[in-house]
Amino acid sequence: MPMEETKKIKLSPRLTACAEYVPQGSTLVDVGTDHAYLPVWLIQNGRVKTPVIAGDINRGPLERARKSAAEYGVENEVVFMLNNGLAGTKDDLAETVVIAGMGGETIMDIINASGWNWEGHTLILQPMSKIYELCSGLYENGLHIEKERLVRDASEIYRVLLVKPGEQEIPGDMELYAGNSDREDPLYKEYVSGLIKKFSRMEKGMAASDKADSEALEEARRLHNAALELGKELGL
C-alpha cells in the first residue's frame, strides 16, 4: 500500500509575514496559538528547533492546536501549554516569542507580566487593535521595533513588528501610529490614507458633540493635521 503523504499546511498572508520574521533555527513559543497553524508551518518548513511551545489561555483553542498538529503530522514536535501569556514561565523557555492576532493592550500586558529579561530574545508581534498603545508601551519598557512590515489579508492591512530589547528614543506620534515600514510600499500609502480618514472622523465627531472636552478635540485636530502632513509627504 502506498505511504500516505504528509499534508502540508498553507498560511494566510498575515501569518506568513509573522513566520518570515522568525530567525532560522531558533526555539519558539507561540502565545495565543489557537489553531497552531504558525508552529505547524514553522516545523514543516524546518524553520525552528523543536519542540515548539504552543500556548493558549483557553482549552478550546488548545484542543484545536492539538488537532492541527496531529493532522499535519507534527504532534510529537509541539509542547502544548495552557497558560495566561507567559505566566509562570522563565526566559529560558524559548529564544523567539510570537504573540499574534490579539489586541495591543493584551500583548503589552503579556510582555509586562512575564517578568522575562528580553536580552537575547526576539519578539514577533502582530496586534489587531490599540497599536499605538502597544508601540509606545514597548519603548517605555526597554524594547524597540527593529523592523516592521504591512501585510494585506482579506480586506485588512496588518502591521507585523519585529521587536528587540534595548532602550531607544521613542519615535514621534505619527511614526507610532503609521509605523516605519517602507514608504515606497503602496500598502503604506493606503495605511496612512486610512489614518487620515480615521482622525478626520474623530475630529468631526468630537467637534459635533456637545460632550467632547476641548483638550480631546485639540488632540484629534493635532493628529488629523499630523496625518495630513505625512500624507502630503507621500504625495497623497
Ligand X SMILES: C[S@@+](CC[C@H](N)C(=O)[O-])C[C@H]1O[C@@H](n2cnc3c(N)ncnc32)[C@H](O)[C@@H]1O
Q: Which residue has the cell 490579539?
A: 102
- Give the DSSP letter of residue 226: H
32 binds ligand X (CB under 6 A): yes
Work out how close the CB of 168 gets to ligand X at its nearest, in angstroms, rounded to a whole number: 26
Residue number, 124 or 195, with CB nearest to ligand X: 124
Work out whether 65 is an interface residue with ligand X (CB under 6 A): no
Nearer to ligand X, 128 or 212 (CB): 128
Using the contact rule CB under 6 A, the part of the chain among 21-29, 101-109, 114-122, 163-171 near ligand X is 101-109
Distance of CA 228 to the CA centre of its chain: 26
d(CA 80, CA 10): 21
85 binds ligand X (CB under 6 A): yes
Q: Is the dihedral of CA 209, 135, 81, 71 positive or negative?
A: positive
d(CA 169, CA 151): 26
Distance of alpha carbon 231 from alpha carbon 236, whole angstroms: 5
Should residue 114 be labelled a site residue for ligand X when binding is judged by CB under 6 A? Answer: no
By the rule CB under 6 A, 123 interacts with ligand X: no
CA dist 15 and 160 (Å) reads: 9
Q: Is 102 in the site for ligand X (CB under 6 A)?
A: yes
Nearest approach in angstroms of CB 56 to ligand X is 5
Size of the site for ligand X (CB under 6 A): 17
Q: How many CB atoms lie within 10 A of CB 41?
A: 22
Segment interacting with ligand X, rule: CB under 6 A, options 96-104, 141-149, 158-166, 192-200? 96-104
C-alpha span between 33 and 53 (Å, rounded): 9
Tell me: does residue 34 bind ligand X (CB under 6 A).
Answer: yes
H helices of the chain, in order, are 13-20, 37-44, 59-71, 104-114, 131-140, 173-178, 186-208, 214-233
Q: How far is the CB of 123 from ligand X (least distance, A)?
A: 14
Among 21, 29, 39, 56, binds ligand X (CB under 6 A): 56
Q: Contact, 19 vs 41, CB < 8 A?
A: yes
Task: Considering the complex, state which of residue 112 and residue 225 has its C-beta at the smaller distance from ligand X.
Answer: 112
Least distance between ligand X and beta carbon 75 (Å): 18
Q: Does 58 bind ligand X (CB under 6 A)?
A: yes
Residues that bind ligand X (CB under 6 A): 15, 31-34, 55-58, 61, 84-85, 100-102, 106, 110
